[in-house]
Structure 1
Amino acid sequence: MFIKPNWRILTIGDGDLSFSTSLWNHFKPAQLTATVFDSQQSLENKYQHHAIEQLNTDPNQQVLFGFDVTNPDTWPKSWSSLDTSNLSDKSFDLVIFQFPLVPAFEDPDYFHKMSDISVNTLNRLLLRQFLIHCTEYFLDPKGKQLCYITSKDVKPYSEWNVENSLNQGLEHINYLGSMNFDINKFPGYKIRNVDRDKHVKDTQGITYAWSSKIDSQGHDNTLLDALTAKSHRRESYCEICKAGPFVSTSDKTLHEQTKKHRLMQQYEQQYAKALLKP
């Protein structure tokens, strides 16, 4: 994960605050605001070991509890306003969402009208809303304007097609590429189960990057060098399954008849249908 010390960073849904604490201690950002979906009491009841006391020790740190990235009513009041006079307290260079999953962040009222669609689609909609809100409300229009989502290359995460689906129809949000997430660079960070006091196995993580800026609009060359662009070309790879390369048309046709591809097609169709809802 590429981070520069002078950046102002917002973390979303940091369950026990261990990621934000490690980020602050080892990367030294200029400003850090960490958010947690749970209330402080719920977090303390859920996790025997947490990092609450290690944050809020510096005026450039802040922790917000009960924060739902999809629900502006849970944000500081000035954040949900597009009034640029209030940019000073919500101007970030980078917003990070680590290993998001709907059960930890679901607002039943918000998702009630979408109860006829799959959990796969709900996760995509959560991440899409994250990108929209980052761009419209959280990121400094004069800053780096970066959004990171760290996910896993295993089910169900690998079935979300995050590289291609999240910014569909969002012309002002550009996918920049991906980079490996090395947890060893974040000492003390524990990936948590969202519902109980249990650590999750440290499987391979991948950090995906988006921005309202395109590559040529002033991104650090060191960031661009760290990113890997989409590796699956439409003509020789399956864009939704990342399978390939195919050596022939018949090879690709055989893939499209597999159970995995048909399932991914279903997910894509469900997601496309959900995007049409008002």
Structure 2
Amino acid sequence: STAPSSHQAGNSIPFDPSDRILLVGEGDFSFAASLVEHHACHNLTATSLDTRTELLAKYAPQAEEHIRALEEAGQTVLHNVDATKLERNKAVIKAAAAAAAGNHGEAAAHGFDKILFNFPHIGGKSTDVNRQVRANQELLVSFFASCTSNTSPPLLAPRSGQILITLFDGAPYTLWNIRDLARHSGLEVERSFKFDAGLYPGYRHARTLGNLVGEGGWRG
């Protein structure tokens, strides 16, 4: 495993190896596996909305390989985790407590340093663009509220914690107005930058509906 260079970390890789990281909405767990293998992140909790059975069926065979690698590296993998209800998930709260008691030598009420949602999307539930936009905006607002909810320990580290979102650049995603959603949720928008998938070897974008078979169009 190798840590990212300071140049990379300052521009496109917003993680330090010692960061306590929560990943939500993982697909085949290739991003989580890349963080551990190639960027030396060692305090990682990676979660999926799908159950383990659903996920292994949707993203066969790669998901099983990535999950095995994560668990063998001592990382936490959780399934059936709703990103809009993190504060109600006992396993997530337990992981936050374990992260808080990690190697920073700080008070146990610290929480996660980074909470990341890669390419959030409700999936292909509707072909109506306006309805899709509203539904995804509601998803993000609920996610922000969950991250900042009053739990003990807190999910997000007070003052220093960061919420990270990756989105495709272009319509309809620009219509989500994510910056306004964040501000209206009481968050401060710190910066935005291009997501360079090439900096995460082994990572592949996983569709919400699972692996693409044949020539069907992309729906989310």
Q: What is the count of residue pairs matched by the alignment?
A: 182
* 2:119–2:167 Cα contact (<8 Å) kept: yes
* 1:102–1:123 Cα contact (<8 Å) kept: yes
**Equivalent residue, structure 1, for 2:188:** 174
Offset at 1:79?
2.1
* One-letter amino acid of the structure 2 residue matched with residue 94 of structure 1: K
Offset at 1:73?
7.8
* 1:6–1:29 Cα contact (<8 Å) kept: yes
Summarize the Cα distance change of 1:91–1:161 in structure 2 as closer, same or farther, 3 Å threshold. same
Is residue 129 of structure 1 aligned with residue 162 of structure 2? no
**TM-score normalized with structure 2 length:** 0.73
Equivalent residue runs for 1:167-246 within 5 Å: 167-168=183-184, 170-171=185-186, 173-198=187-212
Bigger RCO (CA 8 Å, 6+ sep)? 2
- What are the superposed Cα offsets for residues 148-178 of structure 1, whole Å, 9 maximum, x if unpaired? 000011222121111223331x33x211120
* One-letter amino acid of the structure 1 residue matched with residue 122 of structure 2: V
**TM-score normalized with structure 1 length:** 0.59
**Equivalent residue, structure 1, for 2:83:** 69
* 2:87–2:147 Cα contact (<8 Å) kept: no
| SS in structure 1 at match of 2:138 | helix
**Equivalent residue, structure 2, for 1:246:** none
- What are the superposed Cα offsets for residues 61-91 of structure 1, whole Å, 9 maximum, x if unpaired? 10000000113586226729xxx9x954982
Aligned-partner Cα distance in 2 for 1:129–1:185: 29
**Equivalent residue, structure 2, for 1:32:** 44
> Which runs of 5 or more structure 2 residues have no equivalent in the other structure?
1-12, 103-109, 214-220
**Equivalent residue, structure 2, for 1:96:** 116
**Equivalent residue, structure 1, for 2:32:** 20
**Equivalent residue, structure 1, for 2:70:** 55
**Equivalent residue, structure 2, for 1:161:** 177
**Equivalent residue, structure 2, for 1:216:** none
* 2:182–2:188 Cα contact (<8 Å) kept: no
- What are the superposed Cα offsets for residues 167-209 of structure 1, whole Å, 9 maximum, x if unpaired? 31x33x211120111100001101011112129xxxxxxxxxx
| SS in structure 2 at match of 1:147 | strand
Offset at 1:20?
0.5
* One-letter amino acid of the structure 2 residue matched with residue 52 of structure 1: I
> Which runs of 5 or more structure 1 residues have no equivalent in the other structure?
107-116, 200-278
Q: Percent identity?
A: 29
Aligned-partner Cα distance in 2 for 1:66–1:73: 14
Aligned-partner Cα distance in 1 for 2:25–2:92: 20
Residue of structure 2 aligned with 1:148, choices 154, 159, 164: 164
More strand by percentage? 1
**Equivalent residue, structure 2, for 1:266:** none
Aligned-partner Cα distance in 1 for 2:58–2:25: 14
Is residue 10 of structure 1 aligned with residue 10 of structure 2? no
Aligned-partner Cα distance in 1 for 2:37–2:144: 26
| SS in structure 1 at match of 2:165 | strand
| SS in structure 2 at match of 1:119 | helix
* One-letter amino acid of the structure 2 residue matched with residue 96 of structure 1: L
Equivalent residue runs for 1:265-276 within 5 Å: none
| SS in structure 1 at match of 2:140 | helix
Summarize the Cα distance change of 1:77–1:16 in structure 2 as closer, same or farther, 3 Å threshold. closer
